[in-house]
Structures are given as structure tokens and as C-alpha cells.
Amino acid sequence: MVGVHDGEARDLITSARRLVIKVGSSSLTSAAGGLDRARVDALVDAVAGLTAAGREAVLVSSGAIAAGLAPLGLRTRPRDLATQQAAASVGQGLLMRAYTESFARHDQGVGQVLLTVDDVTRRGHYRNAYRTLERLIALKTVPIVNENDTVATHEIRFGDNDRLAALVAALVHADVLVLLSDVDALYDGDPTRGTASRIAEVRNESDLAGITIGRTGRAGVGTGGMVTKVEAARIATGAGIPVVLTSASRAAEALSGSAVGTLFHAVRARPAARLFWLAHATSPRGRLSLDDGAVRAVVHRRLSLLPAGVTAVEGIFTAGDPVDLVDAAGTPVARGLVNYDAAELPGLLGRTTAELSVALGPAYEKEVVHRDDLVLL
Ligand SMILES: Nc1ncnc2c1ncn2[C@@H]1O[C@H](COP(=O)(O)OP(=O)(O)O)[C@@H](O)[C@H]1O
Ligand SMILES: N[C@@H](CCC(=O)OP(=O)(O)O)C(=O)O
């Protein structure tokens, strides 16, 4: 069995043209707190090895909050959002300085990309994020992505960079996602106990049955523990992207194809990237109730949603926001980007587009949700 895993892990990494590599706070900071330049340099050496060989790398790096603690005289990660945001504001600059200097040792340039959920779910913003990342890659510059912590409120927050990394991997159509943490693999129980064993590969959900997956990592540093990594692996593998999970200290081995860590196999072919984001990265701002005919049109015939089929509107949203479409029983059947503000919709319900166009003008010929902006749930 081990031989089979070895071969698969090696081919998967060595044949990948585009890799998204995520590194957690716990792998970039020293035990005393603050950025550990030796650890940053070791990671950068491994990533620069890829780009020097003509391969494409996107780095998703946590560490802004951790790097900002010491300069602000804080000992542990603050619990309140405002202080976390202040720490991120101080730390993000330090983090980028460390990466800029470290990659410069390899004559490799970097670019900072800070994202919020909104940036990647609203159609215009999604295209912007995609275009910027593609252009950086084309310019042989390594994008260094983090959540835009200083402006992200609870509502619009990814909350953990594991999920952000999975979504970025889908956005840029990565061939593989590499999650680097302070633990060398997924274990079947608490790895600090010594009795747990490494899980070399995960092919489907049943391989995860009976495993104790902890929610916390090193005190005061990372967020989410192993739970958010396994969740990120679910998102990426569901988007057709295999995932390798190992420790940052094994980054060089992992990126050169050694069968270290845990390999999560892709479970299905890739869905359309933007709709994948819509389903996984957004929280709906409202709900539109559909009559039976509209449910049939949207779900079975994959048509756009017209005002005539909407019976009720809930929530406060503006045009471009994600909303859930629910059937007569209130069960969500689809999520889509709505073309009207919540305040405008009640006056349009039940009316045909021809009627609305005559009464209100051609701007009201628009669908409520265009079929290209809809994903079935
Ligand atoms: N089943 C498990 N297998 C491996 N690690 C686990 C498991 N359950 C909990 N963990 C813990 O998760 C931690 C990694 O999470 P975290 O500190 O949030 O990482 P990062 O900062 O890299 O995102 C590890 O240090 C480990 O102790
Ligand atoms: N955006 C935050 C990272 C939050 C996060 O997910 O941290 P980690 O669990 O260490 O990957 C920061 O830069 O501090």
C-alpha cells in the first residue's frame, strides 16, 4: 500500500503546473511570538524552487494578526474583532516585508492580494480578483493572499484562511492545494498524545469516519485547528482539486513530490468556478419565495427567475447580492445574485416582464436572477 501512495503523491505534485500553497500562523511564528524569519525563509526557499523551475505558485499566508501582536504589546491573540483588526493592520505590513525580502534572495517578486468574501462573489469583483491573480502569475510574480482582515466584519469574513485557500485554489484553477501547518499530517486522534497514527490518504468521507478532529491548534496562534483544514480539503476536492496536508517544515519534501502528509483525493470533476464560489463562499442576504412553476423553471429547466414566479421577498439586499430561492415549503433550492434591490422587488412580483417594461421602462425587463448567476443547492 505504501508504494502505491508514494507514487500517487509524487506524480500529483510533480506534474502540477499551478499550485496554491497555504501556510498557517503557527508555522511562521516563533514560540515567543512574532515572525520567525528562519521559518519564513525556509518556506520561501521551497516555493521559489517551484517558480525557478517555471511552475506557478500562489501563496495564501496567515500570520498578520500573529505578527502584529508584539509591536502592539499584546501577548496572546485578542478575542475582540477590533483589536484583531488592529493587529492585522500592523502585522500585514511586517508579513509582506518579510516575504518581499525573503523572495528577493531568489530574485523573485511578490504581490499582495487581500480578499474579502464580497470580492469573490459579486460578479464584477470576482472577475477583478481572478484577473489580478492571473496577471500577477503571468508577470512571474508570486501572489501572496490573505484575508483583508482590517475591513472584514463578522458578516463578510471567511474567518479562516484554510477555506480562503480552498476557494482561491478553485478561483485560479489550481492543479493542487498544499496546506502547510505545524502538524505533519492528519492523524486519527490528537497527535500530541503519541498514540494517534497518520492517515496517509483520504479518498472519501468514509475514510474520515471515527477520526477525532480537533478544533484548536497551538494556543493563541492559529485558528480553527484541524477542523478547518479538513473542511477546506472537502471544498477543494469537491471542486476537483486534490489536497496535500503536511507541516511547513516538510514543505520542501512535499513540493518535491515525497509522499509526506495526508493526500485528499479529488472527488469530482471541476464545476464552473464562479458558481462554486457562490455556493460555498457567500451567505445569503435575503430569501425569495418561488411558486411551483418558478421552481420547475429554475431547478428542472435551468431558466432565469422572472418576477412573475416570485411570491414573497425577505431580507435587506441590494442588486448584486446573493439571495436564496426557496420553494413553497421554505426549502432553499438555489442561490443566485439578484438583479434588484429588496425595496424594488415587491412592486414587481407576479407581473410579466412585458408588462413591467411598458409600465416602468426597459430597465425592468431584467430577470430577477439570471440563470448564469444561479447555482442549485
Ligand atoms: N486529528 C488531528 N490530526 C492532526 N492535527 C490535529 C488533529 N486534531 C487537532 N489537531 C491540531 O491542529 C493543529 C493545527 O491547527 P492550527 O494551529 O489552526 O494550524 P495553522 O496555524 O497551521 O492553521 C495541530 O497543531 C494539531 O495539534
Ligand atoms: N488572516 C489571519 C489568519 C487567520 C487564520 O486562518 O489563521 P491560521 O489558522 O493560522 O491559518 C491573519 O493573517 O492573521
DSSP state of 272: P
Q: For residues 13 and 75, state if they share a domain.
A: yes
Q: Round to whole Å and give the CA distance between 87 and 82.
A: 9
The reply to whether 1 sits in an annotated binding site is no
Q: Is the CB of 26 under 6 A from ligand 1?
A: yes
Per-residue pLDDT of the chain (377 residues; tens, 9 = 90+): 333 445 555 788 999 999 999 999 989 988 777 899 999 999 999 999 999 999 999 999 999 999 999 999 998 888 888 999 999 999 999 999 999 999 999 999 999 999 987 776 665 677 788 889 999 999 999 999 999 988 876 655 776 899 889 989 988 889 999 999 999 999 998 888 878 899 999 998 899 988 888 776 554 445 568 999 999 999 899 888 999 999 999 999 999 999 999 999 998 766 666 677 788 767 899 999 999 999 999 999 889 999 999 999 999 998 888 999 999 999 999 999 999 999 989 988 888 888 888 888 777 777 999 988 898 88
Q: Which ligand is nearest to the CA of 165?
A: 2
Q: Specify whether 164 is located in the same domain as 53.
A: yes
Give CA torsion, residues 247, 250, 254, 255, to 10 deg.
110
Would the CB of 323 count as within 6 Å of ligand 2?
no
CATH number at residue 306: 2.30.130.10
Q: Which residue has the cell 458558481?
A: 275
299 and 199 in a single domain? The answer is no
> Does one domain contain both 52 and 133?
yes
**Predicted pLDDT at 276:** 75
Overall number of domains in the chain: 2
Q: Which domain holds residue 359?
A: 284-376
Model pLDDT, residue 217:
55
Instruction: Based on the fold, state whether residues 58 and 157 are members of the same structural domain.
Output: yes
Residue 243 near residue 201, CB atoms below 8 Å: no
Residues 215 and 291 in one domain: no
Res 3: pLDDT: 39
**367 shares a domain with 233:** no
> Within 10 A of 357 (CB to CB), how many other CB atoms are there?
15
Please state the atom number of ligand 1 nearest to the C-alpha of residue 211.
1
Q: Do 267 and 318 fall into the same domain?
A: no
Q: What is the pTM of this model?
A: 0.77
Ligand closest to CA 159: 2
Boundary (domain end) residue, out of 276, 307, 325: 276
Indicate which CATH number applies to the domain containing 59: 3.40.1160.10
| Whether residue 254 sits in one domain with residue 160 | yes
Domain match, 246 and 334 both = no
At residue 4, the pLDDT reads: 42
Give the CA distances from residue 355 to residues 54, 110, 257, in Å, rounded to whole numbers and listed in that order.
Answer: 57, 54, 62
What DSSP designation does 305 have? B
Q: Is 228 annotated as a binding residue?
A: yes
Among 235, 255, 276, which residue terminates a domain?
276
Report the atom number in ligand 2 closest to the C-alpha of 161. Answer: 6
165 and 85 assigned to the same domain: yes
Question: Is the beta carbon of 48 within 6 A of some atom in ligand 2?
Answer: no
Say whether 150 counts as a known binding-site residue: no
155 and 263 share one domain = yes
Ligand 2 centroid from CA 21, angstroms: 14
The answer to whether the complex's ipTM is over 0.90 is yes
Q: How far is the CA of 220 from the centre of ligand 1 (A)?
A: 13
CB distance 165 to 60 below 8 Å: yes
Nearest to 64 by CA among 93, 36, 40: 93
Last residue of a domain, one of 258, 276, 294: 276
